[in-house]
């Protein structure tokens, strides 16, 4: 019996070996290598020189690092709830049976398939303060528009607005989840006298809460790693006045511009710890607000 089980286990391991090897080579090794390099001074060539905890203590005293941390926190704390609410709201609207429903769904999904760099450059023109569409519209209603991406005050909110451009992906996932909610539950709730808001609060949201959790975690991780749009739009990266110096922007600068790979490795490892803590906290608190139908049976 034991021999048979061992054979089965061995066969199972053999079948998953392509994944295991890929994981070990492309994830596990880089992970431990990053951890090792974070305790060294390394420029990418020659031998890394051990420096103990110097990179980590350097980060504590690094003003730009603190700014990057703050900017990333600012972006995440606003972007994640805003994009979650907007994507969910859109999905609820697009789930209603109205004429042209498929066209609306396509229209709202389409922006998310535009490459990030292309959409960033388009938004440079949309938010151009002197001849962009947004400020022209604001001028029409006698409001003086800001300089958006190029204002120390407005740059981060503008990137948050740009983030809403890619709502299509979570919206489609919410839409699929909404269609999985049994109609009978709405019928029963209606019979009990529940209005639309009560049905949303007491039926829809609990039923799709696992999907909300999934999207929130995904959105959180992506927000903490925010990089491409800011790197493409701002020159020098992080400007104006360090207001768009996000965590990964600074990490990239340290690693690939200044060749401080040891320092950047420490940043990368801290980023991993940060994402891990946030994700674990979210999962821990999820038992209070996520409803798993199977658990109740």
Partner 1 sequence: MIEKIHSTERAREGAVWRRSGRRQRRRRAALTSTVLIATSATLVLAACGGTAASSSSNSSSGVVNLTWQTMWSGNTLTLLSQMVNAFNSSHPGIHVTESNIPSATGDAKLLSEIAAGDPPDVFTEWNPVLGEYAADGTIQSLAPYLTGKYAGLEKWEYPIALQGGQYKGTLYALPMSMNSWALYYNKSMLKAAGISAPPTTMAELYADQAKEWKISGNKLSQIGFYPIYNLGFEYFGSFFGAVNCFNSAGQYDFAGCKGAQSEASFLAQYDKYPYADVAAMQTAYGAVAGGDDDAFVAGKEGFNMDGPWEGAQNIPVTNPAMTSNFGVEAFPGTEPAPSTFGQGNYNIVPKGAAHPSAAFTFISWLAGFDNVSFTSQIDPKGGWMPASPAIVSAPAYQTWLKANPWLQVFVNQMSSPYSVTPTLTKSESEFETAEATATEAIGEKTKTPQQALAYIDAQANSGAGG
CA dihedral for 217, 220, 225, 228, sign (positive or negative): positive
Q: What's the token pair of residue 79?
A: 């972007």
Query: Token pair of 189, please?
Result: 């709730």
Output 10 or 201, the one with its CB closest to partner 1. 10
**Minimum CB separation from partner 1 for residue 21, in Å?**
4
| Shortest spacing between CB 116 and partner 1, in angstroms | 13
Residue 10 in the binding site for partner 1 (CB under 8 A): yes
Q: Which of 69, 79, 40 is nearest to 56 (CA)?
A: 40
Instruction: Draw the binding track, 121-160, toward partner 1 (x: CB under 8 A; -: no contact).
Output: x--xx--xxxxx-----------xx-xxxxxx--------
| Phi, then psi, of 62 in degrees rounded to 5 | -90, 110
HSE-CB for 224 with a 13 A CA cutoff: 17
Task: Give the separation between CA 139 and CA 136, rounded to whole angstroms.
Answer: 5
Q: Return the SS3 of 228.
A: helix
Query: HEC profile for 97-135?
Result: CCCCHHHHHHHHHHHHHCCHHHHHHHHHHHCCCCCCHHH
CB of 213 to partner 1, least distance (A): 33
Residue 4 beta carbon to partner 1: minimum distance, rounded to whole angstroms: 11
From residue 252 to residue 291, the character string flagging contacts with partner 1 as x (rule: CB under 8 A) and all else as - is -x--xxxxxxxx----------------------------
CB of 279 to partner 1, least distance (A): 27
Which of residues 6, 9, 12, 17 is near partner 1 by CB under 8 A? Answer: 17
Q: Which residues bind partner 1 (CB under 8 A)?
A: 7, 10-11, 14-15, 17-18, 21-22, 25-26, 40-46, 48-49, 58, 121, 124-125, 128-132, 144-145, 147-152, 231, 233, 235-236, 238-242, 253, 256-263
């Amino acid at each position: 019996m034991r021999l048979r089980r061992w054979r089965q286990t061995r066969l199972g391991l053999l079948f998953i070996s392509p994944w295991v090897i890929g994981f070990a080579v492309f994830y596990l090794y880089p992970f431990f290598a990053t951890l090792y390099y974070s305790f060294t001074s390394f420029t990418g060539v020659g031998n890394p020189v051990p420096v103990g905890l110097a990179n980590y203590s350097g980060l504590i005293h690094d003003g730009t690092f603190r700014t990057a941390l703050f900017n990333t926190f600012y972006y995440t704390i606003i972007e994640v709830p805003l994009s979650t609410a907007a994507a969910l709201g859109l999905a609820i609207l697009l789930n209603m049976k109205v004429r042209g429903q498929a066209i609306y769904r396509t229209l709202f999904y389409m922006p998310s398939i535009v490459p990030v760099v292309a959409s960033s450059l388009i938004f440079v023109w949309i938010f151009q303060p002197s001849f962009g569409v947004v400020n022209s519209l604001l001028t029409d209603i006698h409001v003086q528009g800001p300089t958006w991406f190029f204002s120390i005050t407005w740059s981060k909110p503008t990137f948050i607005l740009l983030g809403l451009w890619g709502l299509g992906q979570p919206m489609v996932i919410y839409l699929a989840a909404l269609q999985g909610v049994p109609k009978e539950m709405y019928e029963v709730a209606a019979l009990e006298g529940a209005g639309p808001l009560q049905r949303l609060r007491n039926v829809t949201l609990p039923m799709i809460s696992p999907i909300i959790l999934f999207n929130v975690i995904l959105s959180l991780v992506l927000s903490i790693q925010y990089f491409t749009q800011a790197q493409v739009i701002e020159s020098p990266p992080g400007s104006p006045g360090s207001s768009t110096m996000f965590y990964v922007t600074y990490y990239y600068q340290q690693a690939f511009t200044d060749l401080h790979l040891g320092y950047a490795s420490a940043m990368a490892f801290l980023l991993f710890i940060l994402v891990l803590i946030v994700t674990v906290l979210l999962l821990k608190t999820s038992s209070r607000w996520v409803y798993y139908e199977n658990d109740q049976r």
